[in-house]
Amino acid sequence: MARAVQKKRTVKRKGTEKFGQRRLEIRNAKIKDIRGIADLVRRVYEDMPAYTHGEIRGQINNFKEGCFVALLDDEVVGYCATMQVAEALAFQPHDWDEITGNGYGSRHDPTGDWLYGYEMCVDPKVRGVRIGRRLYEERRALAEERDLTGIVFAGRMPNYRRFRRRVADPQDYLDKVVEGKLHDPVLRFQLANGFEPERIIEGYLPEDKASMANAVMMVWRNPYVERDQPVKKRLPRGVEAVRVATCQLQARQVSDYDEFMRHVTYFVDVASDYEADFIVFPELFTLMLLSFEEKELSPVEAIERLSEYTPRLRTDISEMAMRYNINIIAGSHPTRMEDGDIHNVAYVCLRDGSVHAQEKIHPTPNERYWWNIKGGDKVEVIQTDCGPIGVQICYDSEFPELSRRLADEGARIIFVPFCTDSRQGYLRVRYCGQARAIENQCFVVLSGNVGNLPNVGNMDIQYAQSCILTPCDFPFARDGIAAEATENVETLTISDINLADLQWARAEGTVRNLADRRFDLYRIEWDETGKHPGKPRPRREPLGPAHPGGG
């Protein structure tokens, strides 16, 4: 049982203060702060790798209430990141990569009874306003507000390498710092803020050369809550409803661009009438624009012709999203990039007027050979008014590393526009989409083309059964299918999904795929430059005619 001690609690006061002509603000971190946070980390830790924008995005998306920034005259000068974890995880042997989910904060557990701090940095050029102390106070207030047992983190000991010849080992160094015989600025600061050393953690952060990879487990116990045994917090089954529409689009001959857009507008209008938050169109749905060419174009001519529509298409669909108050995942469209390469790009037009692009990472053999389509260099979540989402174009859904990256960054819905010419191809995408929903405990929405196009050689036949897939657990549909279309029929399929069910499943579900990953055994390392120095992939001739060959 837990007994609350009847004392006056600390009042949480995030806000703005003035120091002369300077303005200091302490608040929860926002997505717009990512660049400033990344720049701060680079300034503070010159001898260690900086965070990627994706890692910071994941930290905020996974537990925004636990991430704080200090801004001095609107410049980020302090940042701290925390997450809730179970006591067993917090106090068992671990390293930084393992406890943080490889830096994304993805092991946040809303049922955890301890607040785990895994980042705290303050610009060394800013003096006299006690930014570090203020950030620690925010952490402490959060722990008190949530009735958590306390705060735990692994603190650096940056003077250890300097004094290593004067001590027997890291524990001896810690003892001498506590006794005041040696000085360590970080440990002294933490001790002064009420944290007590628990034990040495060896090998915690290999990149921390000054600490020689050692850290000190520091603990603050909440004085307002006494625990005589571990507490299992329960997560309420809340409601965070989002309405999703997937358009299974009939390929048809059109007389011009305007007629094509009228077909698209029709389905957007219907989805908007049903008050859908999202509508997703199929991969390469713009191939209809080739149907009014006077002759059938060669693959090279066709891709070049389609790319000419890119600016107009982006503008028109963005205006449509605002006009109909709906977020549109505009399938995908071949686009010539600044370097001259053709990429297969999904344009995500949000109802706030912003436009985002997600390139297909893995072109199929047919795309590479017939159209010379090149793969994109990055995958990242897109922030929407319904939370972070991800997009994977067809074949990309068959590579689980990409979805896991999106889930780590906070995506709860992954949209998969696809284009497949056979049932076998479709089922590859379908089965992989269901696997991604289970692995990442997220929703996956598929949208495909049906029918055929005369005068367009790579749209001979299409096969699709668009669907909205869920994890397989008690809060969701019995068979993991929230809704699905009739196969090979043009239609709009709409379903309400509850994003709060995902949070519950990740914390208390029958299985917890995200939380139960073995970071001590394996992890994925991303080349953030996106430019691998290896040789370009050869254009091997596919076994089959010129068609997308998706899935």
Residues 6+ away with beta carbon under 8 Å from 127: none
Say which of 394, 442, 467, 472 is annotated catalytic: 394
Question: Tokens 């520091």 appear where?
Answer: 218
Query: Distance between CA atoms of 97 and 189, rounded to whole angstroms?
Result: 24
* Phi, psi dihedral angles at 183 (to 5 degrees): -110, 130
Q: List, as one string, the DSSP characters of 424-446.
A: HHHHHHHHHHHHHHHHHT-EEEE
By the 8 A CB rule, do 469 and 258 touch? no
Assess whether 283 carries a catalytic annotation.
yes
Q: Say how many CA atoms lie within 13 Å of 77 toward its Cβ.
A: 21
Catalytic residue among 360, 367, 398, 467: 360
Place of tokens 């890291």: 170
SS3 state of residue 83 = strand
Structure token pair of residue 221? 């116990």
DSSP H/E element including 312: helix 310-324
Indicate left, alpha or beta for 105 from its phi (over 0: left) and psi (-120 to 50: alpha).
left
* List of residues 6+ apart from 507 with CB closer than 8 A: 109, 110, 111, 235, 515
Q: Which segments of 350-391 are extended strands (E)?
A: 355-359, 373-374, 382-384, 387-391
181 a catalytic residue:
no
Q: Which of 137, 144, 283, 508 is catalytic?
A: 283
Is the distance from CB of 19 to CB of 236 less than 8 angstroms? no
* Residues classed as catalytic: 283, 360, 394
